[in-house]
Structure 1
């Protein structure tokens, strides 16, 4: 696939995978992107997952047409992008590996060798001339590993963005970009908003016409749309107005309260209401929605003097990703000693800029007139 006259796509699609990073459901597979810049010097940008090494090398050789690469640029050392480095160097032993100093430390850890005869260490602001193409390297630590670099080709105005602007899904499947890019970003990069903001500020000084990420499609049009979304996500801003109701339920009474609240909100004109069963629905989707919308209701029963485990897991996912800048409503259930609301509040106390509603709905076993009135009051507050 041709990106520009001199830049070719040589990556692969993975439809064998079921869980990305061992936890994220990827029904439409994954793409492991790799690119080749053909100039007086030839550079290959990143490798692919170990299961696809031979296919990837075949893609490279088809473009090389008997030539040899001069450089292998390693933007990121996560194995889905770096696992084929060793095979590449054994195939093309004279190639220079261009990467950050931290990346070579990781190569030693992964492969038992840091390729001392092939090393070309780059840092912030360093350049590499391929002929008419000149690459400038920009450090991007913790987006989302510490060794990450991105590079900018001033000739074709291309940003090779590592994992930034990536998404779930193979390239031979049509699907909405924002949904799977959001789930990818929040799940994998979400903790590192400050670092992403730093990278965005650096990128603002570049004339970028094309973004080549390590996952997902090459972005060539309406780049402001993608940049704006990344700015919202990484600043923990509100992307969409609405309310997310995340519930866990044992015998159905807490579920009933969540559904009645959703109906009240819709009746009162809430622009969007999303409801999710934390025990049955995709946890990553629930986390994504909590970061997308401005208001979140947590509904859970007391369990072992604590809170129901699926709710505890959900809140842990939020807090470890620096959840902030949201309005929170609480619904607790308990038959003899309700503690869920207190526990959930305690779990969230380290989050910045959370506003809790005045009303906390307390259910004693099942909904009654008093708890239904409290649901109505909570709905009014959320609206």
Structure 2
């Protein structure tokens, strides 16, 4: 059993589990630091469980729930989000507590039938602005569609000013003894918060920005997300970070991502990085797309203004792993970036053609005029073209 139970406020408990077993989140994104699934229990005049955890962690979770409830029944199961890492225990909860009333919106109700093959016996459908009285505590529901599923919603407890935010304000990383923001060094988790957002929510940033406007209007003292730490000391910190993420506000720096077979494109990337550093850009990150998972490259690109993509030609097209990166970038609707492209080929091209297409169609980019396409290995004129590309990208980044 690795369920952690901590009292947040009177009659409000954190009940979460650390998952260090799952290697890939959504079977795609690496979890070297693990991930936490968070659930919350209110024990007022009425009891309410807010979300659950992944089914693989059900045993310890149920034991902790029974201990916190004591002899009491569970009155409500509040469903903010139907993704299986949070809804995995719903059916088990309903079997153990057959009198429980499930509280969710209309779209979540339909998903329950799709996911579990039945509808709850007792169901309370809530709309935007509806409330649920629990005694001294009252939950107000706010729909946040497509952040990042259509049924997503949050709830706000008015007496203690607590926001139960589902996936919003979440982050990767198991909670290694740390449950609250004032117990952690934010810089230790910062990259995993941004990687979580850019890969999980990034595509829906317009919807996220609208949802955050709703959230910012609330007087919030505590934020309880379903991943990551509970924000009880400085919730404004993570709100500000998420507003920045949602609006793709980036900072001075350049990400160079390249695909190479025999090293010629890699040499170009290293030469380009050197020229950019000579232009005074201190944050330069270089990634081989065959070695680094796209989730890390996307996260770094979300952070920095400059983005340069380079590829060798492979079967008259971009290198396959670069193609995956382009797909990921395009899917996440990137904007506010200065973009440069370069590449190499042996006897006929193709990579530059696809990179140019991406530059014009794959996002909202400021495209650098200099494109460097090398046949074979670099010559002096190619090196000078890379120097010019470095000047252009550095100038664009410094304007950020």
> TM-score, structure 1 length as denominator?
0.97
| Distance (whole Å) between structure 2 residues aligned to residue 173 and residue 330 of structure 1 | 44
Question: Residue 26 of structure 2 aligns with which residue?
Answer: 21
Question: Residue 180 of structure 1 aligns with which residue?
Answer: 192
1:283 counterpart = 2:294: yes
Kept in 1, the 8 Å contact 2:330–2:363? The answer is no
| Distance (whole Å) between structure 2 residues aligned to residue 316 and residue 376 of structure 1 | 28
Question: Residue 304 of structure 1 aligns with which residue?
Answer: 315
1:152 counterpart = 2:164: no
1:360 counterpart = 2:379: no
Match for 2:45 among 17, 20, 40?
Answer: 40
Match for 2:333 among 293, 308, 322?
Answer: 322
1:77 counterpart = 2:73: no
1:98 counterpart = 2:109: no
Deviations 1:321-367 (A, max 9, x none): 11112111111101222232221121343344311111111211111
| Distance (whole Å) between structure 1 residues aligned to residue 354 and residue 230 of structure 2 | 44
| Distance (whole Å) between structure 1 residues aligned to residue 301 and residue 356 of structure 2 | 16
3-state SS of 2:147 partner: coil
1:252-271 residue pairs with structure 2 within 5 A? 252-271=263-282
Match for 2:14 among 1, 9, 26?
Answer: 9
3-state SS of 1:2 partner: strand
1:125 counterpart = 2:122: no
3-state SS of 2:282 partner: coil
Quickly say closer, same or farther: Cα 1:380–1:341, change in 2 above 3 A: same
Kept in 2, the 8 Å contact 1:319–1:348? The answer is no
Kept in 1, the 8 Å contact 2:35–2:173? The answer is yes
Quickly say closer, same or farther: Cα 1:228–1:179, change in 2 above 3 A: same
**1:282 Cα shift?**
2.0
Question: What is the Cα-based RMSD across aligned positions, in Å?
Answer: 1.3
Match for 1:53 among 50, 53, 58?
Answer: 58
Kept in 2, the 8 Å contact 1:15–1:170? The answer is yes
| Distance (whole Å) between structure 1 residues aligned to residue 360 and residue 232 of structure 2 | 42
1:161 counterpart = 2:165: yes
3-state SS of 1:55 partner: helix
Question: Residue 233 of structure 1 aligns with which residue?
Answer: 245
- How many residues of Structure 1 are paired with residues of Structure 2 in the alignment? 381
1:331 counterpart = 2:309: no
1:207 counterpart = 2:211: no
| Distance (whole Å) between structure 2 residues aligned to residue 60 and residue 48 of structure 1 | 12
Deviations 1:148-188 (A, max 9, x none): 11000011111000101111111126772221011011101
Kept in 2, the 8 Å contact 1:325–1:352? The answer is no
Farther off after superposition, 344-353 or 364-373: 344-353
Deviations 1:264-314 (A, max 9, x none): 211221031011110001210011111211110001111111111111110
Kept in 2, the 8 Å contact 1:324–1:351? The answer is no
Question: Residue 398 of structure 2 aligns with which residue?
Answer: none
> TM-score, structure 2 length as denominator?
0.93
3-state SS of 1:208 partner: coil
Deviations 1:17-70 (A, max 9, x none): 111110111112111100001111111100111111121111111111111111
3-state SS of 1:198 partner: helix
Question: Residue 145 of structure 2 aligns with which residue?
Answer: 141
Deviations 1:122-171 (A, max 9, x none): 01000001011011000011111101110000111110001011111111
| Distance (whole Å) between structure 2 residues aligned to residue 202 and residue 18 of structure 1 | 34
| Distance (whole Å) between structure 2 residues aligned to residue 249 and residue 193 of structure 1 | 32
3-state SS of 2:369 partner: strand
Kept in 2, the 8 Å contact 1:28–1:170? The answer is yes
3-state SS of 1:271 partner: coil
